[in-house]
Amino acid sequence: MAYLLSKENFLKMSEFVYRKSGIYLEEEKHYEKLAKYVDARAEALGVDNFRKYFFNLRFEDKEGDEFQKLMNGVTVNETYFYIEKDQFEALLNKKIHELHATLPASKTLRILSSPCSTGEEPYSMILHIVEEGKVVEERDIEVVGIDIDSSVIEKAKRAKYSERSIHAIPKDVLSRWFKKKSLGYELGEELQGSVDFQVANVFDKTQMRNLGKFDVIFSRNMLIYFDDASRKEVAMTFYDMLNPGGYVLLGHAEYMSRIVSVFKAKKIDNTLIYQK
Ligand SMILES: C[S@@+](CC[C@H](N)C(=O)[O-])C[C@H]1O[C@@H](n2cnc3c(N)ncnc32)[C@H](O)[C@@H]1O
């Protein structure tokens, strides 16, 4: 059976996705998935050709629901607790003391996980912070997690995780902060609500500005899905969102020096962090 989305229209659709979200879809890798998605949405909307679906998406989607569904359909949300854990250790066991010592006593230390997917990354920060113990007793710390995909934000708020998700958490930490359920694990009540989760698009300047200023931004494993121009734009958005002296951390395969030159790179053990 032929799909409603022709190869030619795939280009229109991928150009739309790219313009709105920075996500670059390649025909070879993504055509089939996107074509199935368009068929399913067209059926749900009761339209029988691509043109009507695309018109609806661009011009009749006043509340942004159709756009949100599309985003939820095209994102790659792979993550797990303590992923690339050297970075949590570098930042949260070492640099956090320095930040704590330099910030005025009344100031909240703010950390952004952008993107946070289903919440494992920001909750891993919380686990490192509470396990470290001292700083959290002396300073208000706020962790915010954002993602363009509303379905992962809903899951993050539920804080229920599979065996696969929690496999890298040290056993003693797991038993202190999680409850074993018949299927997987649930974050304990004392840590539920410890992250402020929000749906936001890193290309939406208003949404990003409304999040306020941060001392640390983790942005791991998202820029790899963007092209150079989009990476640059997002890196500069993060620069503007950081307090002076604040830090950005990227995924292991991502290097700020290849994107923009406004940050100072610093090495802590084997981890590179970038300072404003
Ligand atoms: C592979 S996950 C990374 C999660 C986590 N940071 C990690 O390293 O494990 C990539 C996430 O980027 C999100 N994403 C993609 N484009 C985005 C955008 N324009 N704004 C916000 N989030 C975006 C996706 O929805 C997805 O959940």
> Whose structure tokens read 């084997």?
270
Protein residue closest via CA to atom 23 of ligand 1: 148
Which pLDDT band, with edges at 50, 70 and 90, does 100 fall under? very high
pLDDT digits (tens, 9 = 90+) for 136-179: 899 999 999 999 999 999 999 999 999 999 999 999 999 999 99
Query: Which residue ranges make up each domain of the chain?
Result: 7-74, 85-275
- pLDDT over 90 at 253, yes or no: no
E strand or H helix that includes residue 168: none
Same-fold call for 7-74 versus 85-275: no
Protein residue closest via CA to atom 26 of ligand 1: 77
141 CA distance to ligand 1 middle (Å): 23
- pLDDT over 90 at 75, yes or no: yes
116 CA distance to ligand 1 middle (Å): 6
Q: Which residues lie closer than 8 Å to 244 by C-beta, 6 or more apart?
A: 276
Domain 85-275 homologous superfamily, CATH? Vaccinia Virus protein VP39 (3.40.50.150)
CATH match of 7-74 with 1.10.155: yes
Nearest-angstrom CA–CA distance, 215 and 142: 10
Instruction: List, chain by chain if needed, residues with CB within 6 Å of any ligand 1 atom.
Output: 21-23, 75-79, 83, 115, 117, 121, 147-149, 152, 201-203, 220-222, 251
